Amino acid sequence: MASDGTLYAQVEAALVSRFGVDLHPGDQLPTEDALIDEYSVSRITVRRAIQNLASRGLIVTRRGVGSFVATPALSQPLTALTGFVEDMDAQGLNATARVLVVEEITAPARVRHALELPLGAKVVHIDRVRLAAGRPVSFDETYLPIELGRLVTQGDLENEPIFALLEDRHGTPLVEAAYALQAGTADSRIAAGLDVDEGSAIFRIERTSFTTGQRPVDYEILHYRGDAMTFTMRLPRTRVRGDTQ
């Protein structure tokens, strides 16, 4: 640890880095005495770090009991094409993935249409549960054209975002995406992945991402926990001529 002026910020950052690793929503933080010993700082430094985490909504402090990792309240603006890891990084949360399925299949009709593939074309299908601070937030179904998909599956899908693999490793820039949002409920498979009851509310998002030349290269069906995410956007108003309302 460094100077007094930055000690509390370093303790704060060190604790945040543990969220989703060895500290999960609902877990109790180490005691003040334990943190003092662990980081070799004063009690006032630890208390300042704890106060800051509480003011950020990352922990909840209960008088006489202790401090606990809060269930993250997540908000995602729909103003640009971003991936899950980028969205969580923007909120200071550790993002991880649990890979459930990696397989090559004949593209179903919806996937074939989205990726503009011929009848009988093969695709790579990947299912992952995406976690923020250790809490399941999204169940992602991803479909990629076969050759590109085979390249992507050579990466570490638990720790490397597919967007990063496409853009940084396989020379496939993503320039825009088409979104379709729909309210839905979790079937047994989605519910098990998200750790919710079957029939729980979810946001269902279909997203097709395009590379240069308007070529679709990534089709996803994203199932977000209804209690975990708020989507926001800001839209301009276009007046219709003659509209007086």
75 pLDDT exceeds 80? no
80 to 83, 135, 175: CA distances (angstroms): 10, 24, 10
Fold of 74-232: Chorismate lyase (3.40.1410)
The percentage of the chain sitting over the pLDDT mark of 90, rounded to a whole number, equals 60
| pLDDT greater at residue 227 or residue 185 | 185
User: What number is the average pLDDT over the span 26-41?
Assistant: 92
58 pLDDT exceeds 80? yes
**Contact yes or no for 191/198 (Cβ under 8 A):** yes
Query: 244 pLDDT band (50/70/90 cuts)?
Result: low
CATH number of 4-69, picked from 3.40.720.10, 1.10.10.10, 1.20.58.100, 3.40.50.300:
1.10.10.10
93-121 pLDDT, tens digit per residue, is 778 899 999 999 999 999 999 999 999 99
Residue ranges covered by each domain of the chain: 4-69, 74-232
Look at the block and give the residue holding tokens 């929503």: 25
The percentage of the chain sitting over the pLDDT mark of 70, rounded to a whole number, equals 94
| pLDDT greater at residue 135 or residue 33 | 33
Rounded distance between C-alpha atoms, residue 89 and residue 70, angstroms:
17
* pTM value surpassing 0.95: no
User: What number is the average pLDDT over the span 30-51?
Assistant: 94
Rounded distance between C-alpha atoms, residue 172 and residue 190, angstroms:
29
Query: 51 pLDDT band (50/70/90 cuts)?
Result: very high
Query: 37 pLDDT band (50/70/90 cuts)?
Result: very high
134-167 pLDDT, tens digit per residue, is 778 899 999 999 999 999 999 999 989 999 999 9
Q: Do domains 4-69 and 74-232 have the same CATH topology?
A: no
User: 142: which strand partners?
Assistant: 126, 220
Helix 4-18 crosses helix 32-39 at what angle (to 10 degrees)?
A: 110
3 pLDDT exceeds 70? no
Residue type, 166: L
Q: What is the mean pLDDT of the chain?
A: 88
Q: State the pLDDT at residue 242.
A: 64
Rounded distance between C-alpha atoms, residue 73 and residue 62, angstroms:
19
| pLDDT greater at residue 224 or residue 74 | 224
- Angle, CA of 53, 12 and 68, to the nearest 5°: 45
167-204 pLDDT, tens digit per residue, is 999 999 999 999 999 999 999 999 999 988 999 999 99
Residue type, 81: L
